[in-house]
Amino acid sequence: MSNPVSDLILGFQDLVAGVPDLMQPLIVALAGAVPFIEGEGAATIGILGGINPVIAAIAGAVGNLICVAVVVLLSSRVRTAVTTRRGGTPEPVSARRQKFERAYHRYGTPGVSLLGPLLLPTQFTAAALTSTGVPPLRVIAWQAAAIVLWTTVITLIITGVIRAVA
């Protein structure tokens, strides 16, 4: 039985290998926009596809960040519309939401943004932060820091492993 995420990753790898060199970073950026692949997964796809690691990392991070920014801006508009319509009346909070809010109160926006990718895609973390009322630009800034950090770390690891094996 195949795994949908694995199939998607293999599909992106095949696509990177099958397009002209100038189009490869665009494919990597598109992969970076996909939850669970993220900037670091997209950079890995690009590196394994033969793209320069720096270009692959930048393309993957940019694709991830653009997607996260869109999610944050849309989530912010939805939150504004919902809170305006409800007149600020709170709704019942789910157990999952309570868990997220405990983490948020413990680690703040920086901690949730930087540690969130270990558990959830950045798009989900960004939407959750925005829904709690964190200003969109603050969410985008911290998500950008997390995307750059994790994409850089994974790119360095993958590049080091490839060089060690070669």
pLDDT in tens, 35-72: 999 999 999 999 999 999 999 999 999 999 999 999 99
- What is the mean predicted confidence (pLDDT) over 130-152? 96
Distance of CA 67 to CAs 38, 62, 160, Å? Answer: 10, 9, 28
Give φ, ψ of 119 to 5 degrees: -120, -35
Q: Please, are residues 136 and 113 in contact by the beta-carbon 8 Å criterion?
A: no
Q: Please, are residues 117 and 142 in contact by the beta-carbon 8 Å criterion?
A: no
pLDDT in tens, 104-113: 888 899 999 9
Helix, strand, or coil (residue 90): coil
Q: Please, are residues 59 and 50 in contact by the beta-carbon 8 Å criterion?
A: no
* CA gap 133, 101 in Å, rounded: 11
* CA gap 59, 121 in Å, rounded: 17
For the chain, percent of residues with pLDDT exceeding 90: 61
- What is the mean predicted confidence (pLDDT) over 81-97? 72
* CA gap 41, 2 in Å, rounded: 19
Q: Tell the residue number behind the tokens 């994790």, with chain if given.
A: 150
* Both tokens assigned to 33: 């926009």
* Whether pLDDT at 149 is above 70: yes
Query: Of residues 43 and 11, which shows the higher confidence score?
Result: 43
Helix, strand, or coil (residue 87): coil
